[in-house]
Every structure is written in C-alpha cells, then in structure tokens.
Amino acid sequence: MNKLWTFLGSGAALALSSCSTAPAPAPHAPIARAAPTMAPYLWTHGFAPKAHRAMVASFGRTGLRPGEYLWAPSIPAAGDTNLVVDLLTQMAYVYRGEQLIGAATISSGKKGKETPLGFWSVLQKKRSHFSRKYDSAPMPFMQRIDDHGIAFHAGKTPGYPASHGCIRLPPKFAEKLYALTAIGSKVVIEG
C-alpha cells in the first residue's frame, strides 16, 4: 500500500462515514459541502472525509460551487499523484505525495449508470478522446480507470450526478490533473 493510502488511513479506522449538506443556497453563494460525518456511505475507508479536512486546512474553504476548483500555487516536485473521489459530496481531491494540491466539484454517474466504488488506477490517458458508447461525445483529458470505459475527463459539472458513469471534472482542473498523473496513478472512489 503506498504512502498516500497509509497517510490517509492512519488513525482510527473509519469504516462508515457520511456527509450532510445544507439546504440549497442562493445561486451566487458557495455550496457548503460539509465535512462527511457518520452514516450513509455505502463504501468508505475514510479517505474522503480526511481529504475534505485537508481542503479546509490547505485552502480555508468548506465547499465549492458547481464547476469550481482549487489548485495549490506550488506543487511538490516529488511524489506520486493520487486521487480521492467522494460521490456523496460530488468532490474530487488530488494529492502529490502526502500534500493535497487540488480539489474540484465533479459530476459522477446518474441513477442506473452509477460510478463504481473502490480502489482503481489510471489505465489509459488520451488528451483528446471521443466516447465509443455515447455518440462520440467529447472526453477531453480522458483518464480511464477500468476496462468498461469509466474515466475522468473534462465536462459539465452541474453539482449532481449526471454522467453515464464517468467522473466529469471542470475543464481547467482536468487539464492540470492530466499533466500530473501517470499510468498507474492510484484512485479511490468512496460514496
């Protein structure tokens, strides 16, 4: 198990956690995505709640509006790039080594096309890709994580699950992430 998973998983085991969100704010106000606490996660090892706490500590933000992202002004030169995805809060977090360097809102798979939970790795990367399943839909900065076409890519992030299983990212965030990952970069998806 690499250092990130050890780092994120240290301390008491968090077998089940959850997330609570505030009522919908005014359109101009940030969406407050509260730190996950206890219950309705279907599957978690506690990485998503720890990543949220790291976002608050690193960036001083508790939530983001749909399509918004945060990126550290300086990135460590050494260390693996790893991702943590929280399907409950529709957030993705990127680490370089043990340092959180970015966070973004996402749009995961909608009902009936849910994004799979678990531990994954980046299997394929293509700067410009088009879906073979869905009418050649553009998938810029595609990073495939399974053998069935589930991938990270730039796309619309409305603040709720709306994809066919992929994890859509804000375009500029997807581009920055693409530049830092490698085949084999680790991904954990909780929700």
Distances (CA, A) of 183 to 47, 149, 187: 21, 15, 11
pLDDT at 129: 63
pLDDT at 40: 87
C-alpha 1 chain-centroid distance: 20
Task: Give me the residues paired with residue 189 across strands.
Answer: 85, 118
What are the tokens at 64?
A: 């983001």
C-alpha 83 chain-centroid distance: 6
End-to-end CA distance of the chain: 21
Against a cut of 0.85, is the pTM above it? no
**Dihedral angle sign, alpha carbons of residues 34, 39, 42, 44:** positive
Query: Topology of 3-18+33-190 in CATH?
Result: L,D-transpeptidase catalytic domain-like (2.40.440)
Sorted by where each begins, the domain ranges of the chain are 3-18+33-190
pLDDT at 16: 28
Query: In angstroms, rounded to a whole number, what is the distance separating the alpha carbons of residues 60 and 78?
Result: 24
Query: In angstroms, rounded to a whole number, what is the distance separating the alpha carbons of residues 172 and 191?
Result: 25
- List the chain pLDDT tens, one digit each, 191 residues: 455 544 444 333 333 233 333 333 444 444 545 555 555 899 999 999 999 999 999 999 999 999 999 999 999 999 999 999 999 999 999 999 999 999 999 999 999 999 999 999 999 999 876 666 666 677 799 999 999 989 999 999 999 999 999 999 999 999 999 999 999 999 999 99
Amino acid at 2: N
